[in-house]
A and B are shown apart, each in its own frame.
Chain A
């Protein structure tokens, strides 16, 4: 590893420590299979590693990380759709079916159903929902996506309604 990369290693490690859990959740919103999730995670880390030296602080670090991560993920799933023969984003095999007794759903199953429902959303709705679930405000989501805050609100409301229908009674 060269001198520049050694110098970049420390901030990059700090970035991964801070955003790692969010990135792990993010890849579950785009890819169904664990092996594809790991591939996407590696792509995102590589994209962040390459982009980090260009970070000048014009936007917050969180905006920067989510921009790189979501743009890389959208590119990844669309490229994969062209390359793969098996389904990725809409993988029926991994879809969690509604159980006979909703009350019996444990937290893990509920989370899997939510991830599955998120993957079924259109690209931009999925991104807006994932950012919202990470606690970003409409304005912050607008900074990441380039949408206006009003547009974010409209998309989010529509997407959450669809999520509720799909996850349906998971509580």
Chain B
């Protein structure tokens, strides 16, 4: 089987003319930009809402342990918001680069995202842990061993679940990065 035969076979088909759906294309481009902007805004808004909620709860509360817990959670949310703001985004690889350069950049992007997800215990969950510990102590002291144990298990389970989901997502990103071909 010679090369010309394969080339002819591949290219001699009459292809349908390509009609560009301009509105879909425009919508995709707009949606892409909006999604990034909306996600960043949503993250900051959620952090702000958590700060306001716990700060007001601390202001109104009576139990000193719970007030301390609410202050710690509000501060934790502020630290998370700061982390979200400073972490930025991995630069998206330019698709007009050569494949070799593009793949290097794509690997770097995926590794950066995976590192972020792997470190979620430190930069996302960690700042909330002092507040949750204080809250558990307050529940133990104020409502007894059973309520304290139940609330501690629920919170610990929730944190462990978030951590596990992020680790799983990071593993998928690392697998994708390692599956990319290496040029050279």
Which residues of A come within 8 Å of B, CB atoms? 1, 5, 9, 12-13, 16-17, 20-21, 23-25, 42, 45-47, 49-51, 54-55, 64, 67-68, 70-72, 74-75, 78-79, 81-82, 107, 110-111, 114, 122-124, 127, 132-135, 143-147, 160, 163-164, 167, 169-171
Q: Is chain A's binding surface mostly helix, strand, loop or mixed? A: helix
Chain A residue with Cβ nearest B104: A146
6 additional contacts (CB under 8 A) given A24-B16, A110-B9, A164-B1: A51-B95, A54-B96, A64-B96, A67-B102, A68-B95, A133-B10
Q: Are A45 and B180 in contact (CB under 8 A)?
A: no
Contact status A147-B13, CB under 8 Å: no
Chain B 60-88, CB-CB to A under 8 Å as 1, else 0, gives 00000000000000000000000000000
Interchain CB contact under 8 A, A114 and B6: yes
Bound state CA distance, A33 and B17, in angstroms? Answer: 20
Least Cβ–Cβ distance between B85 and chain A, in angstroms: 26
Q: How far is the CA of A143 from the CA of B123 in the complex (A)?
A: 42
CB of B89 closer than 8 Å to a CB of A: no
Q: What are 10 sample pairs from A and B whose C-beta atoms fall under 8 A apart?
A: A13-B20, A20-B15, A23-B18, A25-B10, A25-B11, A78-B176, A82-B173, A135-B11, A146-B98, A164-B1
**A1-B26, A23-B18 known; A79 vs B176 contact (CB < 8 Å):** yes
CB-based nearest B residue for A49: B25
Taking CB atoms and an 8 Å cut-off, the chain B residues in 1-58 that contact chain A are 1, 3, 5-7, 9-13, 15-18, 20, 22, 24-26, 28-29, 32
Which 9 residue pairs across A and B have the least CB separation, nearest first?
A146-B100, A146-B98, A20-B18, A21-B15, A133-B10, A123-B181, A71-B102, A145-B99, A71-B95
Chain A residue numbers with a CB within 8 Å of B94 are 51, 54
Query: Least Cβ distance of A9 to chain B in Å?
Result: 7
Q: Is the CB of A160 within 8 A of B6?
A: yes
Are B22's CB and A1's CB within 8 A?
yes
Instruction: List B contacts of A75 (CB < 8 A).
Output: 95, 106
Report yes or no: B22 in contact with A9, Cβ–Cβ below 8 A. yes
The residue among B93, B173, B179, B181 with the most chain A CB atoms within 10 A of its own CB is B181
Is the Cβ of B183 less than 8 Å from the Cβ of A147? yes
